[in-house]
Structure 1
């Protein structure tokens, strides 16, 4: 398990050439399915034109780096249909206050915890 904020700034290293191709800038997740869709490597607006690494293209997430097999793992966000549906709606859970159905304030979301094997939050 890793906190989403711990991924920010990590280098992305290819296994085939051992080269750094990017740094992680953000995490895109599907709140309806509680799963990470991709890691953002270059932001441009609200994901339109951004460069991403789909979660399925990640080889491993370590303490010091994210590894991918080749530089082809990095795509344009517009090329991934799963991301396209989120490009027009800004969803940011960080800072959201959580209230139970009975009206009890549970607190504010400060981070997300990600299962690094499955991508589930």
Structure 2
């Protein structure tokens, strides 16, 4: 499971095209299903339009990047009427006030927990009105995801949980691109890295890549070698190297 704050800001990378497609700017929530249906992608250049990707087209969400099979999965918002309709409803969840079925207001939501495999909102992190208490409201206690308001079952406070391991969600499998068995068994982010290594070797470095302690990993103008890739991985600079090469 992932927090919204762990997803927003991640670079969006294409596995097949070996390309950076921007970064996740926000989530598009479907209040009828209580799920994230799309993610808004902010372009790398400010003058380009914002686009989006369907949660079904996300290959993996790791600590360093969100991956998708091909850059064609990131499309113009205007081309997806379903996303436009959801955006018009302006349901954010985070920042919403919490109200019980009988009309009792109590606190706000400052974070949501998302099952990255299905897009379902598994829980909402509640903060009491006086800030004295917090906890996770499991999705089965939520009655309505509304604009600026989350309606929950009465006495929800008694059913709060402290961490995501206590949340029981129904297992739902999203449609995925069919892969060979060997590929399917791999972690999506690891699969992305393996693909990247194949493409990177022999490409030209476009800027100096340094480790956090200032050691040179790759110099501008050099051709990428396997040793260079291994050094970048060891220094946690693999994504940086990936984004700064050309043919």
* Fold similarity call, TM over 0.5: yes
Post-superposition offset of 1:120: 0.4
Partner of 1:26: 26
Indicate yes or no: 2:3 matched with 1:7: no
What is the aligned length? 116
Between 1 and 2, higher relative CO (CA 8 Å, sep ≥ 6) is seen in: 1
CA distance in 1, matches of 2:76, 2:3: 24
TM (norm. structure 1) is 0.85
* Structure number, greater radius of gyration: 2
* Structure 1 unaligned residues grouped into runs of 5+: 44-48
Post-superposition offset of 1:61: 1.0
TM (norm. structure 2) is 0.44
* Structure 2 unaligned residues grouped into runs of 5+: 44-48, 122-247
Q: Would you tell me which structure has more helix in proportion to its own residues?
A: 2
Q: How does 1:49-60 map to 2 (within 5 A)?
A: 50-60=50-60
The residue matched to 2:107 in structure 1 has which SS?
strand
Change (3 A) 1:100 1:77: same
Partner of 1:35: 35
- Poorly superposed stretches of 4+, deviation over 3 Å: 102-106
The residue matched to 2:120 in structure 1 has which SS?
coil
Post-superposition offset of 1:104: 4.0
Post-superposition CA distance 1:29-63 (Å, at most 9, x none): 101111111111138xxxxx630011111111112
1:37–1:82 CA contact under 8 A, matched in 2 = no
Partner of 2:117: 117
CA distance in 1, matches of 2:17, 2:87: 32
Post-superposition CA distance 1:82-101 (Å, at most 9, x none): 21212433222221111212
1:11–1:65 CA contact under 8 A, matched in 2 = yes
